[in-house]
Copies of this chain bind each other. A is one copy, B any other.
Amino acid sequence: MTPFQPGFSGSTFDRADHLRGDLAALATLLLHPQARLLQLQGFDPALTAEGALVWNSLLDQERSEDYAVSLILLGLLDGIPHFVGLQQHSAEAPLYRTPRTMEVLSLLGPQDMATYGTARSLIDWHGRHRFCGKCGGATVAHRAGWGRRCSVCESEHFPRVDPVVIMLAEHGNRVLLGRQASWPKGRYSALAGFLEPGETVEEAVARELFEEAGVRASKVRYVTSQAWPFPAQLMLACIAEVQDDTLHIATDELEDAVWFSRDEVRAALAGDPNTRFLLPPAYAVAHSLLQHWAWPDEAQ
Contact = CB atoms under 8 A, between A and B. Distances in A.
Contacts of A163: 161, 163, 234
A153 B136 CA distance: 14
Given A15-B196, A15-B207, A198-B11, A128 B134 contact: yes
Interface stretch (A26-34, A96-104, A113-121): A113-121
A185 interface: no
Nearest to A211: B17
Given A128-B133, A131-B133, A134-B91, A159 B197 contact: yes
Interface in A194-233: 194-203, 207, 211, 222, 224-227, 229, 232
Nearest to A2: B202
A177 interface: no
Assembly of this chain: how many copies?
2
A262 interface: no
A43 interface: no
Contact of A161 (B138, B195, B202): B195
A227 B199 contact: yes
Interface in A78-121: 91, 114-115, 117-119, 121
A134 B131 contact: yes
A203 B15 CA distance: 11
A174 interface: no
Contacts of A114: 198
Interface string A122-138: 10010111111111111
A149 to B, nearest CB: 13
A198 B91 contact: no
A134 B90 CA distance: 9
Contacts of A91: 134-135, 153
A236 interface: yes
B232 A197 contact: yes
A130 B133 contact: yes
Nearest to A16: B211
Nearest to A220: B2
B203 A11 contact: yes
21 contacts: A11-B198, A11-B203, A18-B250, A91-B135, A91-B153, A114-B198, A121-B198, A125-B197, A127-B134, A129-B134, A130-B133, A131-B132, A136-B138, A158-B162, A159-B197, A161-B162, A161-B195, A161-B197, A195-B234, A198-B227, A202-B224
